[in-house]
Structures are given as structure tokens and as C-alpha cells.
Structure 1
Amino acid sequence: MATLIHTLADHSDDVNCCAFSPSLLATCSLDKTVRIYSLSDFTELSYSPLKGHTYAVHCCCFSPLGHLLASCSTDGTTMVWDTHDGQVLAVLGQPSGSPVRVCRFSPESTYLVSGAADGSVVLWNVQSLKLYRSGSVKDGSLVACAFSPNGNCFVTGSSWGDITIWDDTMRCLYNEKAHDLGVTCCDISSQPISDGEHGSRYFQMASCGQDNKVKIWLILFADSLGVELRYKCTLSGHSAPVLACAFSYDGQMLVSGSVDKCVIIYETNTGNILHTLSQHTRYVTTCVFAPCTALLATGSMDKTVNIWQFDSKQPCAGNTVEKESEVAVQNWSEDDVSAWLCAQGLTDLVGLFKRNNIDGKELLHLTKESLTNELKIESLGLRSKILQKIEELRMKMVSVSVAIPDEFLCPITRELMKEPVIAAGLYLQQSLDEALSKIQNFEYKEQDPLPLLLLLPNSQQIQ
């Protein structure tokens, strides 16, 4: 069940894009502004709105850690903001000066992609905030972009209808016509799936377009084999062009928004429609799931952003305690580890752990050296926090696995007694009272054997 829990109505023109970080929500609009809200109570931050663009803002996105926010505009620039104070860190001008339609950070914040109306695509180095590589598509405007989970490749979609896959050197690896009337959005799930035949680990990609369709693809990023893109299925729930699509954190759900004013949430594996939301009064231009929480944001040309809460299968803090008790840590899946990270306030590490396939067994074997050398976690404080949380998990495992002596358990309920000495004494007294009562009511017959009073301690035998 999806429930509308909040509506934001601060923009004075069409809402073009929404983006989540672990703690914030960003929205941008034709009104030239970007607004930032806290997820704790949906109040607008003190430095919001962000005013720097001179024309409509088409897209906004957070860096994976949530420290940076990028926004792009018709003014031909992509601006990078500090989310702590709202200060501008850089104004990145598209070399051609063309209106910028889409921007995306890579999973490890190494790169920032900006795609423009003239088909140009630029790869910016986030550390230096300088141009790293550039390229262009043959036809149409660049309107969609998504990075592979490992950050080595990214996908762009054009108004001509093409899907193009690039590596991080801007080499074109693959190109295919995906939507006859033009692509409007694309997204790649962060969760891998097996093809069931050769054991290859594919990622699901969704694309949507002016043809009213949402298409699901299987995409394989392999260094030795290059890139493989395989069509999976088409979802035809909308009756008008589909303007936005996005996967849930666990890849189990896909949301789309359309010119038909509806938001549809699908079950990814089956294509079944789980929810249809029709509260917006004009075209739905953007929709996005929050990371690791059951929240969804949808934005529209009606100038509003709706926040939805729903029942989901996403790993999140709320069900991690149950997981710890139901499944031994060493048997945790990668999703269980992700849920545990979220519960410990380590949501920013989910992507890193996923890319390194850290399941429960691997989690328990992490050390200071592996965190530093293999996972490349430079922060001493963060490494210490992770190791502390892992040690707490180990202690829980020990406490659960150690057998409890029988004398510490209630003989009736088998529950652990808080004061076993006193409880055991009371139980013994109750047993003696019951034995005395039975003996007093016993009618002796010659054929009956004598009562076995020797079962009682000598000091308690009946005279």
C-alpha cells in the first residue's frame, strides 16, 4: 500500500527532477532554482533555495556520499554545490555552450557526466572539477544517463531513440535503437542478477520513451568480453509518453511517471503492477526511490513534489534486527549486509560493499588491512566504526551460540531465569508439595507396589 505522506509546493513552475541522498531530498524546476529538504521532517534547509542558474534547471543529482549536489540548466552550465552550506564549488560550462539536459555522478564520485541538447557529453573529474573527456552522439539531444554499478561504464539515451554505452575513456562500446520516438530516461539497478545459464552476473537497465513504453534490458559489463545488452521485456502500463523511470534500491521494483499524469510501480521480476498513483494533476516528469528507506518522490508540471511511503521489500533499518535473529550472520546475503549497514548509519558504504560482493561471511572476515588496501577506505574513523560494528556482531553470535546450562532454564517454560538459584528453590518446594499431596491421597491396596519414597531426599521423606 502506497500512502501519500507529504506534498511540497514551494516551486513556482514545473518540477523537472527530484533526487535523494541518505538524508536529503533535492528538487529543481523551470523557476531556475534548486530546493533542498531534510528527510527527517521535510522542512527546507536554511540555505535553500539555491539560486545560481539563469535559466530553467533540468536535472539535479547527489554524489553517492551526499556531500555534493550537481544541477544543470538551459544556461549551458552544470553547477556543483556543497550540501553542508549550499555554497557553489564550481560552474562547469558545457564546451559547446548548449543547454545541459542531464547530469550524473559515478558511484564512487570519480566522475560527473553532463549531457547537452546538441548531443555532446562531457566527463568531468570530480576531484579537480575539470574536464576529463568529451564526446557526442550522432543524432538528437542527450536527455538520459546512468552509470554502471562499478563506475567503469555509463549509458546515455537520446531524443533520437538511441541507447549508447560508453567506458570511462569516452569510447563508445555499444549503440542500439531502443525507442522509436525518443528516449526520455534510463536507470540501472545496483543489484546484479544471474542469467541462469552461464552464471554471468547481469544488471537490469530500464529505459522509457515517447512511445509510451518502459523497456527492461539485461546488461553485462565484462572487461574481457566488452559489453552485452540483451532485451528482456516491455512494460505497457501507461497510455501516454513515459517521462521518467527508476529502480528501487534492491532492484525489486521499478517506478515510472508519464504524460498520462500517473505514477506506476511495477514488480521488476514479473512486470506486475503493484501500485498506480494518480494524485498529480499534470504530467509526471520525475520519480525516484530513496536509498534504503520506503520512500518515493514524484514531481510534476503541477509544480508539486509528492512524498510517498509504501510497503516494500527493500532492505532497511527497520527489519535488520529481525534478520539478525532469524538468519546467522555468516549466512547473510549481500542484501542483508546492505540492510545492516543502513541500520548502523553506514548507508554511504552500501554501494562499495555491493560492488565488492560482501556477504555475511566476507563481512565477518573484514580487517583493518582489508578495509584499507582492498576496499580503499581512507578514513581512520570510518574504518574504526566499521570494525566496532562487526565486533558487536561477533559478540552477538557468541552469545547466541553458547549453550545455556539446563539449571539456568525454567523446567516448565524453558526460558532463561533471571534468578536461577531462587527460582530453582521455589520449583523444588512446589514439587515437594505436589508429592506430599499425592501421597496423602493415596489409597494403598495389597496388589499395589509400595510408593517409591526414595525418590525424595532423605530429609524430606514422609514419616
Structure 2
Amino acid sequence: MAAVWQQVLAVDARYNAYRTPTFPQFRTQYIRRRSQLLRENAKCGFEPGLRRQYLRLRSQLLALRYGPLSEQSSFRASSVRSSRTTLDRMEVRCIQKQGKGFEKLTTSEPFVSLGCGLLFYIPILTLYYFISSVPRLQFANDDKHLLACCSLDGTLSIMTLSPPPPTVKVTLKGHAGPVTDFAWSLSNDIIVSTSKDGTLRIWNTEDGRCIREVADPEGSELLCCTFQPMNNNLTVVGNSKHHLQVVNISTGKKVKGGSSKLTGRVLSLSFDAPGRILWAGDDRGSIFSFLFDMATGKLTKAKRLVVNEGSPISSISARSWISREARDPSLLVNTCVNKLLLYRVVDNEGTLQLKRSFPIQHGSQPLHSIFCPLMSFRQGACVVTGSEDACVYFFDVERNTKAIVNKLQGHSGPVLDVSFNCDESLLASSDATGMVIIWRREQK
């Protein structure tokens, strides 16, 4: 029955772009509510023939109201001028966690992608439904098809997207609480993860074995982690008691001098590329910069910036652009002020200066954003973020007006995280309902 309700939702999504063209927010709310109602009604056990009959009638009524649609059709969207909207049919492979196993379902479902040129993305043959929210996902380093996701059900999943069909390579089980963050090592042979169970775990990505478990000595929830980019033997962890700590993953011990305290719960971390500066964001709205001693692992607090008092800093991403349009080292920040913020790094102590802000819906969810990995080699420089309106947004940071250059629709809840593979051919996005969508870049 799940396949039938997904097909019904697919029909509604296909015509969604034609509903109230001047009120895009209503369209998003409509499709989310339809998804909720269809999933609830799918549990009632109606006779299959009635559902299929409803699907045919629904399709006919929508076709009468809006006209028949071809496999690909376009219209001018008010939110992105001169952009193209393609309603592409796709085979969706859904993996639903049930106990210890997975149940695979197959259906056809079109989604909406707005965009043009090199920024045109369509969803491909992959969707995963997890039983709880997927706060983080990340492609492996310098890899096109290896993707990891963590879930609030306490597990991590490593998936291979090629060759088709996509498969779950290994599931990492052991955390007794929600997994809040994880990071790939540079060689992709290890993943470190943090959890609200108060432990840092180190995993072998080939067989899913937990190599080591490191408990927080204060018994506090661990909320974020990141590898030291030049020395993957060291990882930095942030906890709910405002503490930041450098941990040696080979020994499982804290590094002497590698700890500090912030003003609130540590929610986000990011190193600059050389690994000399670490930025940390907390739930009180502050971003701290630390100088990292490469020889000893010692942290020295340098600067503090209050972005907005009381607004959690849910994501920090550092990047040095390779572009004539955007030369400065930059920091991309998600905080709960309904804006995506781009800062310029102005000195060797990590001092930040606001460069741009972009409007998104962000009031409470732990949203994340990224820099386009290759876009800086082309004209323009782009960033991508999730949003609480269930959309994925692309912004050109050098456009003074109409900075939105792409908008991807298809999620049924707040989009929490986004990740590119190494050549930017695939984009993965996850949401608060447990859905993961893989988007493929189309050359236009």
C-alpha cells in the first residue's frame, strides 16, 4: 500500500508548481500536508482496488483542472526569474527500517527542480526513508558514490550509490542515543561519531566494527565533532556542558591543553584548510575562533563574535575560494535568524566580518549549509543550504540582486543537511522526516 500512496503524492507533486503561482509558501505547505494525510490513511488498510481507482480519478481531475503534463514541462517561476522547472519522472528506491532489517519498495515519483545552466539538478533513482530524523549526511572524501548518514535512532548508514541499485554497504550500530554528528577521515577508512549517549565512537567503515568508544568524563551529551585536517589522529568534540575537547583517537585520551569552554552548548565546528584555526558555534549565538598548535594539539582562544544573542549556531563551514569573484577565505554560518550568513575571514586569528546574508526560513531547526566544491573554478561562487520550508537553495554570493540561482523541491519536512560529492555531479539532502534525496546535475 505504501507504493500507492507514494504514487498519489507523486501526482500531486507533479502539478504542485501550478497551484497558487503567486504563493509558493502555500504550495509547500499543501504538499507537506498531503504527504502527512496520505501516510496516515495508508495505515487504515483500505482495499487495494479502491486506492488504485482513487489514483486514476485524482490524475484525471488534476489533468482537467491544470491540463495534461508531458514528462518534461517548464514555466516561468516567480521566485527565480528565467529559471526552468522540470517535472522529471523517477524511480524511487525507498528503504524503510523495520526492526533489524530493511524493506525495499519501488515506485515512480516526480519532483520539482528549479534552475538553469550548470546549476540544474534533478532527483535520480534514490530515496531513503529512515524511521527518524537524519540530521547529518556527507559524501566520503574525493569519492563520487559513497555516502554516510546518521539518524536520531542511534545508527549510521554507509551507502554506495553505484553501481545501481543503491545499496546499504554497512550499518554502524552501538550508540545508545541519537547520533548528532559524524566525520569521515581523510582516507575514508574511519568515521568518528558523537551521540547524546555521551560517547564518541570510532568506526571501521569497511566492516562497521566499532574500534573504540570514548565516554565523556562529565557524562554530558556530545553534539558535534570534526577531524583535524592535517592530523586525522586528532578529533575535536563539543558537548552540552559548553566544553570543547581535542581527543587522540588512537589512545582515546584527551590532549593536554586541548580543551576550552564556550558560553553555551557547542553545536558546530569547522577548521580552516591548513588546520591552524578552529571555529566553534554555540546555542547562545556566539562563534569562537581558536588557534590550533599543530605540534601539541593545544587550543588557544582567539576571538569571539556574537552573531545574535540567543540564536543557536547550527552550522559552520570554512572555505578558501579559488575565484576572481571571491578571493577571501570565508565562513558560512547557519543561525536561527531566518538568514544564511557569509563572513569574510580578515586575519590569522579568525576574526570575522559579515559579507552577505541570504534570506531562508530558519527559526529553530539545526540546519546546515555548504560551499559548492567546484563552483569556485567557474564564473561565480555558490553556496547551498537547507531550509525549514522543505526546499534546498543555491545562492550566488557575488550577485547583488536575485542571488537565488536554484531551488530544489521534493522534501516533505525541514531540510537539515546537504552534501556534494567530489565532482559536484551529485547532491544529497536530508530532512527532519527521515528522507534522503540524491540529486544529479544535468548539463544544460
Pair in the same fold by TM > 0.5: yes
Letter in 2 for 1:286: D
Between 3-12 and 48-57, report the one with greater CA deviation: 3-12
1:260-292 Cα distance to aligned partner (Å, 9 max, x none): 222111123326112112211112111122222
Correspondence for 2:321:
191
Give the CA deviation at 1:44: 3.0
Contact 1:213–1:235 at 8 Å: present in 2 too? Answer: yes
Q: 1:2 aligns with which of 121, 126, 145?
A: 121
1:64-463 correspondence to structure 2 within 5 Å: 64-108=186-230, 109-132=232-255, 133-168=257-292, 169-180=298-309, 181-191=311-321, 202-220=328-346, 222=348, 226-238=349-361, 240-241=363-364, 243-250=367-374, 251=376, 252-270=381-399, 272-311=403-442
Return the match for 1:50 from 172, 192, 196.
172
Q: Tell me if structure 2 keeps the 8 A contact 1:265–1:274.
A: yes
SS of residue paired to 2:299: coil
Q: What RMSD, in angstroms, separates the aligned Cα atoms of the two structures?
A: 2.4
Deviation for aligned residue 1:241: 4.9
Whole-Å separation in 2 of the counterparts to 1:42 and 1:170: 45
Matches of 1:195 and 1:295, distance apart in 2: 24
CA distance in 2, matches of 1:267, 1:312: 18
Amino acid in structure 1 at the alignment position of 2:435 = T
Distance 1:239 1:228, change over 3 A: closer
Q: Which amino acid aligns with 2:288?
A: T
**Structure 1 residue 194: deviation in Å?**
7.6
Instruction: Report the alpha carbon displacement of residue 9 of structure 1 after superposing the two structures with TM.
Output: 2.2
Distance 1:312 1:148, change over 3 A: farther
Maintained 8 Å contact 2:237/2:246: yes
Work out the CA distance in 1 between the residues paired with 2:253 and 2:324.
38
Deviates more, 1:246-255 or 1:294-303: 246-255
Aligned counterpart for 1:60 among listed residues 164, 175, 182 = 182
- What's the CA shift for 1:192? 5.2
Structure 1 gaps of 5+ residues are: 314-463
Is the Cα–Cα contact under 8 Å of residues 60 and 70 in structure 1 kept in the other structure? yes
Answer yes or no: is the 8 Å Cα contact 2:356–2:397 preserved in 1: no
CA contact (8 A) 2:289 2:351 kept: no
Aligned length: 305
User: For 1:80, what is the secondary structure of its paired residue?
Assistant: strand
Q: TM-score, normalised by structure 1?
A: 0.61
Provide closer, same or farther for how the CA distance between residues 273 and 128 of structure 1 changes in structure 2, counting only shifts above 3 A: same
Per-residue Cα deviation, 1:276-332 (whole angstroms, up to 9, x for no partner): 12211112111122222321111111111111112589xxxxxxxxxxxxxxxxxxx
**Equivalent pair of 1:213/1:241 in contact (CA under 8 Å):** no
Q: Is contact 2:288–2:301 with CA below 8 Å preserved after alignment?
A: yes
Seen in structure 2, the aligned counterparts of structure 1 residues 277 and 135 have a Cα distance that, compared at 3 Å, is same
Q: CA separation in 2, counterparts of 1:290 and 1:237?
A: 24
Cα gap change, 1:194 to 1:167, in 2 (>3 Å): farther
Distance 1:241 1:307 in 2: 25
Structure 1 residue aligned with 2:62: none
Structure number having the greater strand percentage? 2
